[in-house]
Every structure is written in structure tokens, then in C-alpha cells.
């Protein structure tokens, strides 16, 4: 029996648009509920959400196979990626990548030797159904999916070399951090920022890799989709909850 098929990896390779949602509530119940909402993927955020290994595991278990799951660790470190892969996460989004060397290290972290440096402990890991998937180690490399996040001027400068590397499924633009680093903190909609984002997305797609970005605006999402962006975040659980709650109060008070 081989490692589980990674539907998100296959869809990105085929350039099929995959719509997803950011999750920062650290709630297995919210994760389970959202997994049936129709998103192609849900992202468990360990960078800006107060997640750790146990809470990420709980959400992976709650979601199961209902939709694809992406996990973003707080930093791009080999030790963290090893733990996340052993939990059963197959798609990892690494934040704040600023060099080709770091990108290459992340590629190695995603794969077992001799291709990479992933530690071999599958017999006790959820990823292999605790050793029940007999061919897991032989087949896991083909199902891991690596997306790197570019969100600084240093990352933009390193991008041409990063795009030459094999083993990277997609490049994700972090608009908020990029805007701040470009001198427009809190204003990712600034024309100068959007021009940089558009040019960067175009270069990613021209390389043959999938391009990704997050937006909370439906019209902007439609524009990115028309451009050819295939890994497209279209909202977040916290923002949806706050907006729905605020709107509910306003509607009743207005009546």
C-alpha cells in the first residue's frame, strides 16, 4: 500500500485552481465544520495562529480526508517540518524564505534520503497509519508538496534562483509582509505593491511552478484567478467569524 494520494499536489501540477481558507482559531471543531464548506484546502497556521504540534494534530484528525490540508509552521526549520510530515501533513507552506540556500534546505527536509534529509521514523508515525502502510517510505516522497512563501525584498531578489530548483510545487506571495518591507505597512493595495505582486506572480507562472496568494476581497480573488493563480486563499476563519458576528449585531440593532 502506497502513501496517501496528495490531491492538492496533483491539482497544482495540473494548474487547476484550488481555493482555500486560512485557519487561526486553533479549534478542531471549527476545522471539522469548515472542512465540509467546499474549500479545496484548509491551512492550519502555525506562524500567526497560536498553534503547536498537539493542536495541529487535533485539527488534522478532525478534518480527516474531507479536504486537503496545508500546514504553515512558524519558521522554516528542518526539525519542525519533520514533525509535521510525521503527523500526516503532506503539504507545507514555509514562511519568510529569503535565499536559494534556505529553499534548497526545505526541499531536502520534505524528502527521505537519498533525495533529502527527512528522518526515518514512519513506523511510529500517524503519516504511515502507525506502520500499517507498508510502502510508505518508498512512496512518500512523491506525495509531499512544498510551497515557499516570498514576502520581502530579499525574497524577491532570491526568487530567480529559487525558481530554478526542483522539488518546489509552488511559490506563495505574502502581501502584508511584502507591503511592509516595500515601505507600505498596512497598505497591500498600494499601486506600487500591487505592481510588484503582479510582476512576481507572472514570473512564478512563467517558470512553470504554481503561484499563490491570499486575499480577503472577492473581486481581487477573481482578478488573481483570471491571471492564472492556482493556489488561492480567499479568506480566514477569524475574519469570517468576526464579520458575521458584527453584521448580526448591526442588523438587529438597526431594526
Class of domain 7-254: alpha beta
Instruction: Tell how far CA 90 is from the center of its chain.
Output: 11
* 11-25 tens-digit pLDDT: 999 999 999 999 999
Q: Is 48 a catalytic residue?
A: yes
Residue 133 pLDDT greater than 90, yes or no: yes
Q: What is the pLDDT of residues 100-124, one digit of tens each?
A: 999 999 999 999 999 999 999 988 9
Mean pLDDT (whole number) for 132-155: 97
- Give 1's pLDDT tier (boundaries 50, 70, 90): confident
What's the rounded mean pLDDT across residues 69-81? 98
Burial of 247 (0-12, 13-18, 19+ CB in 10 A): exposed
- Asked if residue 31 has pLDDT above 90, the reply is yes
Could you tell me the pTM of the whole model?
0.96
pLDDT of residue 255: 75
pLDDT at 230: 98
CA distance 100 to 217: 32
Q: Which of 5, 48, 102, 111 is catalytic?
A: 48
Distance CA 177, CA 150 (A): 9
Interatomic CA distance for residues 1 and 211, integer angstroms: 32
**pLDDT value, residue 215:** 96
> What pLDDT shows up at residue 171?
98
Whether residue 211 has pLDDT greater than 80: yes
Q: How much is the average pLDDT of 54-64?
A: 98
Report the phi/psi class of residue 91: left, alpha or beta, with left for phi > 0 and alpha for psi in -120 to 50.
beta
Using only C-alpha atoms, the chain has a radius of gyration, in whole angstroms, of 18
Amino acid at each position: 500500500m502506497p502513501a496517501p494520494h496528495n490531491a492538492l499536489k496533483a491539482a497544482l501540477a495540473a494548474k487547476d485552481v484550488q481555493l482555500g481558507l486560512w485557519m487561526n482559531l486553533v479549534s478542531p471543531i471549527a476545522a471539522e465544520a469548515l472542512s465540509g464548506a467546499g474549500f479545496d484546502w484548509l491551512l492550519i497556521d502555525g506562524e500567526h495562529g497560536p498553534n503547536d504540534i498537539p493542536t495541529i494534530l487535533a485539527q488534522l484528525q478532525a478534518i480527516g480526508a474531507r479536504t486537503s490540508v496545508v500546514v504553515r509552521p512558524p519558521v522554516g526549520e528542518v526539525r519542525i517540518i519533520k514533525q509535521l510530515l510525521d503527523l500526516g501533513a503532506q503539504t507545507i507552506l514555509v514562511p519568510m524564505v529569503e535565499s536559494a540556500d534556505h529553499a534548497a534546505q526545505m526541499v531536502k527536509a520534505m524528502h527521505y534520503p537519498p533525495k533529502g534529509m527527512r528522518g526515518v521514523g514512519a513506523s511510529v508515525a500517524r503519516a504511515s497509519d502507525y506502520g500499517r502502510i507498508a510502502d510508505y517510505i518508498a512512496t512518500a516522497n512523491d506525495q509531499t508538496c512544498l510551497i515557499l512563501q516570498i514576502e520581502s525584498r530579499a525574497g524577491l531578489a532570491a526568487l530567480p534562483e529559487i525558481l530554478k530548483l526542483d522539488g518546489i510545487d509552488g511559490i506563495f506571495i505574502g502581501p502584508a509582509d511584502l507591503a511592509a518591507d516595500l515601505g507600505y505597512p498596512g497598505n497591500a493595495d498600494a499601486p506600487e505593491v500591487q505592481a510588484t505582486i503582479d510582476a512576481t506572480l507572472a514570473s512564478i507562472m512563467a517558470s512553470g511552478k504554481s503561484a499563490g496568494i491570499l486575499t480577503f476581497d472577492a473581486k481581487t480573488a477573481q482578478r488573481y484567478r483570471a491571471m492564472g493563480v492556482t493556489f488561492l486563499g480567499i479568506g480566514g476563519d477569524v475574519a469570517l467569524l468576526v464579520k458575521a458576528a458584527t453584521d448580526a449585531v448591526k442588523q438587529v440593532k438597526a431594526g
